[in-house]
Amino acid sequence: MKRTALYLRVSTLEQNPTNQRLDLQQMAAQRGLEITEIYTDHGVSGARAKRPGLDQLLADARRGKFDVLLVWACDRLARSTRHFLEVVDELNRLNIEFVSFRENLDTGGPLGRAVVVIISAIAELERNLIIERVRAGMRRAKLEGRHIGRRPLDVDRAAILRDRARGLSLTEIARLHRISRALASRYIKDAQATSHKGVLQPPHQVIESMEPESTV
């Protein structure tokens, strides 16, 4: 007899998973399956990928504790197609059959495996369509002259260099101009590098490029 696990889930504490368990026990008996593990998530939404019962189920699956997983319905295992396929795919890699009572889906047979492949293909198509819609929106925004992404920082670099020439530390400059200390340091180093290449600089920038950087 194949070692079989049951997974039960109800979304609220007021609900009871007993009906799910009875249906799955009857199915196991009809198929000659031995129930060795029962995992339950009580009052947990299927939208959550991390659930105590499901996490323990997957951990035991990797340890080879059962050969078949029975669930009452696919949405008891996962609400999103992506998460459902991820779980079923891992079970397949572990050579564990997945059986759903309501949908009569059984990955142990050719029809069940074909259905999973079709669901996977539809999910992949959906992801690609979403990506293409996003790209089309970005292209349209670019053609319309709308900015995409973060707005560039409105930073007065000359003022930063003047403050540095006055002896302000990088921390003080960053706080004064509302930028990060790393960004203030980069602006100053860029000015120093430009000065070293022989490009004519305003007097305050020349002074700054000659002054050693403070370690404060």
Q: What is the pLDDT of residues 26-45, one digit of tens each?
A: 999 999 999 999 999 999 88
**Which string of b and e fits 49-85 if b means at least 16 CB within 10 Å?**
eebebbeebbeebeeeebbbbbbbebbbbbeebebbb
pLDDT of residue 149: 65
Specify whether domain 3-114 bears CATH 3.40.50.1390: yes
* Contact assessment for residue 38 and residue 49, using Cβ atoms and an 8 Å cutoff: no
| Mean pLDDT of the residues in the chain | 83
pLDDT of residue 31: 94
pLDDT band for 99, please (50, 70, 90 cuts). Answer: very high
Pick the closest to residue 57 from 90, 105, 21 (CA basis): 90
**Which string of b and e fits 116-144 if b means at least 16 CB within 10 Å?**
beebbeeeeeeeeeeeeeeeeeeeeeeee
Q: Is 11 a catalytic residue?
A: yes
DSSP 97-110: EEEETTTTEETTSH
pLDDT digits (tens, 9 = 90+) for 42-72: 998 888 889 999 999 999 999 999 999 999 9
Helices assigned H by DSSP within the chain: 18-31, 52-62, 74-77, 81-93, 110-143, 157-165, 170-177, 181-196, 203-210
Pick the closest to residue 96 from 142, 148, 33, 49 (CA basis): 33
- How far apart are the C-alpha atoms of 35 and 31, rounded to whole Å? 11
pTM: 0.58
- How far apart are the C-alpha atoms of 211 and 28, rounded to whole Å? 80
- How far apart are the C-alpha atoms of 195 and 208, rounded to whole Å? 10
Q: Which of 11, 120, 185, 195 is catalytic?
A: 11
- How far apart are the C-alpha atoms of 196 and 31, rounded to whole Å? 81
